[in-house]
Structure 1
Amino acid sequence: MTTLNLGVLAHVDAGKTTLTERLLFHAGVIDEPGSVDRGTTQTDSMELERRRGITIRSAVVSFTIDDLKVNLIDTPGHSDFISEVERAVRVLDGAVLVLSAVEGVQVQTRILMRVLTRLRIPTLIFVNKIDRTGARYGDLLAEITRRLTPAAVPMSAVTGLGTRDAVTRPYAADDPRHLDRLAEVLADGDDSFLTAYVQADGRVDAQDCRRRLIERTGLAAAHPVFFGSAATGIGVADLVGGIRAFLPPARGGREEPLSGTVFKIERDSSGRKAVYARLRTGSVGVREHVTVRRRVGGRWDRAGWEEHTGKITSLRVFEQGGAVPADRAGAGDIVRLSGLKDARIGDRLGRPGDGPDAGRVGGSGDGSGEERPGGSGDGPDEPQFAPPALETVVRSVRPSDAPLLHAALQRLAEQDPLIDIRVDDRAREISVLLYGEVQKEVLKAQLEEEDGIAVAFAETRIVYLERPAGVGAAFHEIDRHGDHEVCATAGLRIEPAPAGAGVRYRLEVEPGSLPAAFHAAIEDSVRTALLRGPYGWEVTDCVVTLTHSGYASPVTTAGDFRTLTPRLVERALRRAGTHVYEPVVRVELEVPSDLVNGVLGVLAELAGAPHDMAVRSGTAYVTGVLPLGRVHELGRRLPGLTRGEGVLLSEFAGHRRVQGAPPRRASPAPVIG
């Protein structure tokens, strides 16, 4: 039996979880589809998900189509939980992108499609809710072609559109309407087909077109479009047939060395840790020892990788709905493991050089070392979605809970690393990075319900960052300045690095000049000190070099270096100077051409800058950049500026230097319950 790891993705409320339920029902896994509104779905297992009616954590279920086992990953649709989607797309062989026949292509839909295209994950499109009032067909297909993919191929017609009597009728292989669109898509990307098409004076062979469509879909170069209603089941059988026919299964052999990726971590009510991983090659069994590796940004003594070994104490695979115990699992499987107590999201399973994902980016998972669409899963190490750019300070309402709060937050950060818990000892505050206000509300509810800790948050603020403006150095020698508090010698130099490089720490001294524990204390203290620069923001994109080192045995301790290093970092940054950078987004605007000047004026008023503009058929298409903190204001004002016809799409585009007086990271505002 072959395996397909399938993701279901969508803009919030497009019907993604309802479709998952219908697929499970169609496959005979459940007797009745669950309801999001009633909180009875299989994949929304958290009490908070059931109560709110939204997906917060990715969930895995399984069903079979003939001889194909499908591990289906249901992902969140709300943009505040995009980090869950980020991790899921890296373990997929294929995807179904769901959109509503009423709302059509929405902001999140376009962002998701861009990532699926970038990672070359074969994708089918399912247009849901064809039985709802306002459902569209022809103009929606044009919208999909214009905004999502020019290679969209409708696989069925719809009658009774927008009514309870709506039904789909799959196109026959030789239906002229289907063949015309299919030939257009194939000719656009297949030179051999185009040549044959021209020579045959526009006549095509239906079976040859079908074969080419399967090939092109597997290469993520064509996207079959299915229509239906997940609530009633209309069109779902056609989609299931499309999943079987068009999406390529997982590749990789069990006889190869083990390689895999950890994409999810959860803990049960007793605190036991479970690790979810996609196995790319090889196999693993209960009671076996497994090497777990992670990138650590170039630690001086580990060549950029850190590894440890864990023993598998239990193993589950996904069969006909949920996870079932197994003695062994292999390539293509998604597994739920216990025993890897030190594993984190993003870790790799297997020894360096053993598997196709070891020490490289992406890969086919078949041992060939070649890139291929689908199953790229491990994907590029670079994030595919924007990092969180909002920050809030969290405090326990009851002082007695303060010692428990940090541990509880660390547990939640283990499940979602992009929450990024930061402890500022100087300000005596704990801050978390977030995507939005909904995520903050969910975090508050999780702490209260799962840990019994009532918390309050400060007002959410934009996260800026600092980069060195020049080169700065600082040096301290034992007793040279009469400082008997610190019995250590150290020198640091800080210099700029390219944007996006992060923090690189290196040595200009011999590694043996200090005990390993002292080296570790210096590097850890450097990274901690850089969390707060001269303006209060995190300092990044820099190279920090240890230029001098010394100690007096047996007097010097690691604590001396932990005390000294932050002082040296502060002095070196002061001498180098820093610039403050703000997060910006790339905006795409679609507005009536006669109203574009007013929109451009507001864009400039909000410190945005247009990059390009084109006018087609009475619509102006504007691209530009805008500070992240002003996107909400532009979205609020756009309907009034455009007679309600304006469309805004925003996508994280990095950081730009703040002009004028740099904002300082002030003390937190009073918390709000």
Structure 2
Amino acid sequence: MEELKQETLRRRTYAIISHPDAGKTTLTEKLLLYGGAIRLAGTVKARKANKHAVSDWMEIEKQRGISVTSSVLQFDYDGYRVNILDTPGHQDFSEDTYRTLMAADSAVMLIDVAKGVEDQTKKLFKVCRQRNIPIFTFVNKLDRFGKSPFELMEEIEEVLGIRCYPMNWPVGIHGNYVGIYNRREGQVELFDKDGGHGKTIRSSSKASLDDPIFRETLGDEVFQALKDDIELLDMAGDAFDMDQVTAGELTPMFFGSAMTNFGVRNFLEEFLRLAPPPVARQASIGEVNPVEQPFSAFVFKIQANMNPAHRDRLAFIRICSGKFTRGMPVFHAETGKLIKLAQPQQFLAQERNLVEEAYPGDIIGLFDPGVFGIGDTLCAEGQDFKFENFPVFPPELFAKVQAKDSMKRKQFVKGMTQLTQEGAVQVFRQPDSAVEAFIIGTVGSLQFEVLEYRLKNEYGVDLLIDRLAYSVARWLIGEEQDLSSLKGIDSGMVIRDIQDRPVLLLSNEWSLRWVEERNPDVKFLVVPQDARRV
């Protein structure tokens, strides 16, 4: 029990969220650099660069310079075991990000110093607030000219409704920053010039703000500006309150540049000191304590073909309580069967290591023969409960998809089935269609492009994609005779989901209200009643 407690307390499992292009994948990689997990940082700036971010493993990500899947990365630093969940920033992949946030104990919100709070940041921040998880803010790209620190503080507080407490403060004026001031330690850290373009750890020197050599090095104007800023923060700013941070009401704020390794180490060390270890999780039996309960976990992500040569399929689980050991039998709540977990793995992008044991907060990958679904619960033999349901989002864009070559039918069906189980898209069918085709529902148009790319490159199938003029989907509940004689759906389409439940597609909300008024005996649900496995 003491070993379990100690191992749990040193875990830090967090997700990094941001608007696209705020530098999220770059920050993730630099944390790996400082954590000693990699020796040389790559870059995601150039689409055809020879090196790519360690967390971007899918070929399309390397080509486009964006993240379209959540990556799971782990390293050790100063006695902590760190699990990073790097999520897609693009709004078209927000479902994957939402599911990943379910597996995190805290979140790092990345803000572009020039752009401030952007639309996607607002959406992801809202999800974090709903879960009441601590949110840490990293203001990035300090190597470029942007908004003033005070302006950014005010914007975060007004737009997001969360108070800020700067843990450090940039040293410099007019966007020309040379270091950071650590408020807790009362120290200035000045960075040497970055001669390696951020590929290696950046050297620096530290001393007290009162050290005369710093005033001489900085110059009177910069030194006085820093003194005035610190005095203003101490007098008019919020006091640091860890209880408010834990409740998601106050965000510790850091300044730096992931690209040039400016302030990254300071952020990493302070974040690990403040971020929470794994906490209790809600389940059908009440709260599941990470230390007091036997083993339990849930599936938050499924990914096919991480290794194209082996055509494997992995289910990523977040351990919530107890100790995991390789080969242990676990109870799969959804099927009611015992499953032996023989080849659990942990990841550094595509590099895999076999796991002998793991603890609450850890993320491990399990080979999946097709039995797992997103949101499934695994628990120790003799236990039987389920963790809280994952949020499910109704699709807003639709298309009919079929294989160009009818001889590729088997590969087409297999690919579509696997990508559906990943949660990448939602798949439906037309009951009376004579053509082997699927109706695809997504929350963003870029998902169609990724679907087409992956079917071609992973399954050898070229697609015909015919976009449909629908934007509203509703699951139908009612008597069979009422469903078979729906009134007012001439401009809509009735399809079936993978569990054979009827779904109505309509062009807009006005059409939906029209149909609802004419079918009072039918319920129109935004998401299915059994929303755990759609």
Q: TM-score, normalised by structure 1?
A: 0.60
Question: 1:217, CA displacement in angstroms?
Answer: 1.1
Q: Show the counterpart of 2:150.
A: 138
CA gap of 1:352–1:122, structure 2 versus 1, over 3 A, is: farther
Secondary structure in structure 1 of the residue aligned to 2:156: helix
**1:315 matches 2:344:** yes
Aligned mates of 1:79, 1:396 — CA distance in 2: 27
Q: 1:85 aligns with which of 90, 97, 119?
A: 97
Question: 1:177, CA displacement in angstroms?
Answer: 2.9
- Please give the residue correspondences for 1:261-410 in structure 2 after superposition, counting only pairs within 5 Å: 261-267=298-304, 268-269=307-308, 270-294=310-334, 306-317=335-346, 323-338=352-367, 341-350=370-379, 354=383, 358-359=385-386, 361=388, 381-383=390-392, 386-410=393-417
CA gap of 1:579–1:271, structure 2 versus 1, over 3 A, is: closer
Return 5+ residue gaps in structure 2 as ranges.
1-6, 187-229, 280-288, 520-534
Q: 1:220 aligns with which of 248, 254, 260?
A: 248
Aligned mates of 1:113, 1:231 — CA distance in 2: 23
Q: Show the counterpart of 2:232.
A: 177
CA gap of 1:461–1:138, structure 2 versus 1, over 3 A, is: same
TM-superposition CA deviations, 1:551-577 (whole Å, max 9, x none): xxxxxxxxxxxxxxx9xx99xxxxxxx
CA gap of 1:80–1:163, structure 2 versus 1, over 3 A, is: same
Question: 1:281, CA displacement in angstroms?
Answer: 0.8
Secondary structure in structure 1 of the residue aligned to 2:333: strand
Question: 1:163, CA displacement in angstroms?
Answer: 4.9
Does the aligned pair in 1 maintain the 2:117–2:159 contact within 8 Å? yes
Secondary structure in structure 2 of the residue aligned to 1:462: coil
CA RMSD of aligned residues (A): 3.5
Aligned mates of 1:144, 1:134 — CA distance in 2: 15
| Letter of the 1:314 counterpart | Q
Q: Show the counterpart of 2:532.
A: none
Q: Show the counterpart of 1:234.
A: 262
| Letter of the 1:27 counterpart | G
Does the aligned pair in 1 maintain the 2:395–2:472 contact within 8 Å? no
Aligned mates of 1:342, 1:234 — CA distance in 2: 45
**1:25 matches 2:33:** yes
| Letter of the 1:264 counterpart | K
| Letter of the 1:275 counterpart | A
TM-superposition CA deviations, 1:611-630 (whole Å, max 9, x none): xxxxxxxxxxxxxxxx9xxx
Q: Show the counterpart of 2:419.
A: 412
CA gap of 1:448–1:341, structure 2 versus 1, over 3 A, is: closer
Aligned mates of 1:320, 1:440 — CA distance in 2: 24
Question: 1:340, CA displacement in angstroms?
Answer: 5.8
Question: 1:389, CA displacement in angstroms?
Answer: 1.1
CA gap of 1:118–1:473, structure 2 versus 1, over 3 A, is: closer
Q: Show the counterpart of 2:430.
A: 424
Does the aligned pair in 2 maintain the 1:263–1:346 contact within 8 Å? yes
Deviates more, 1:244-253 or 1:341-350: 244-253
Secondary structure in structure 1 of the residue aligned to 2:128: helix
TM-superposition CA deviations, 1:192-244 (whole Å, max 9, x none): xxxxxxxxxxxxxxxxx55xx22321222210111111101112122112312
Deviates more, 1:313-322 or 1:323-332: 313-322
CA gap of 1:539–1:88, structure 2 versus 1, over 3 A, is: same
Q: Show the counterpart of 1:260.
A: 297
Higher relative contact order (CA 8 A, sep 6+): 2
- Please give the residue correspondences for 1:54-69 in structure 2 after superposition, counting only pairs within 5 Å: 54-69=66-81
Does the aligned pair in 2 maintain the 1:292–1:351 contact within 8 Å? no
Aligned mates of 1:420, 1:214 — CA distance in 2: 41
Secondary structure in structure 2 of the residue aligned to 1:414: helix
Aligned mates of 1:534, 1:466 — CA distance in 2: 16
Aligned mates of 2:265, 2:504 — CA distance in 1: 57
Percent identity of paired positions between Structure 1 and Structure 2: 25
Aligned mates of 1:319, 1:402 — CA distance in 2: 35
| Letter of the 2:324 counterpart | V
Question: 1:157, CA displacement in angstroms?
Answer: 2.4
Question: 1:437, CA displacement in angstroms?
Answer: 2.1
CA gap of 1:111–1:283, structure 2 versus 1, over 3 A, is: same
Secondary structure in structure 2 of the residue aligned to 1:314: coil
Question: 1:70, CA displacement in angstroms?
Answer: 0.8
CA gap of 1:162–1:69, structure 2 versus 1, over 3 A, is: farther
Instruction: Give the paired residue count.
Output: 446
Does the aligned pair in 1 maintain the 2:303–2:315 contact within 8 Å? yes
CA gap of 1:459–1:660, structure 2 versus 1, over 3 A, is: farther
CA gap of 1:254–1:403, structure 2 versus 1, over 3 A, is: same
Question: 1:537, CA displacement in angstroms?
Answer: 3.5
TM-superposition CA deviations, 1:627-661 (whole Å, max 9, x none): 9xxxxxxxxxxxxxxxxxxxxxxxxxxx7557999
Q: TM-score, normalised by structure 2?
A: 0.75
Q: Show the counterpart of 2:136.
A: 124
Question: 1:21, CA displacement in angstroms?
Answer: 1.0
Aligned mates of 2:328, 2:294 — CA distance in 1: 14
Aligned mates of 1:284, 1:122 — CA distance in 2: 26
Does the aligned pair in 1 maintain the 2:83–2:361 contact within 8 Å? no
Aligned mates of 1:342, 1:163 — CA distance in 2: 53
Question: 1:103, CA displacement in angstroms?
Answer: 1.1
Secondary structure in structure 1 of the residue aligned to 2:43: coil
Q: Show the counterpart of 1:98.
A: 110
Aligned mates of 1:27, 1:279 — CA distance in 2: 22
Aligned mates of 1:235, 1:451 — CA distance in 2: 44
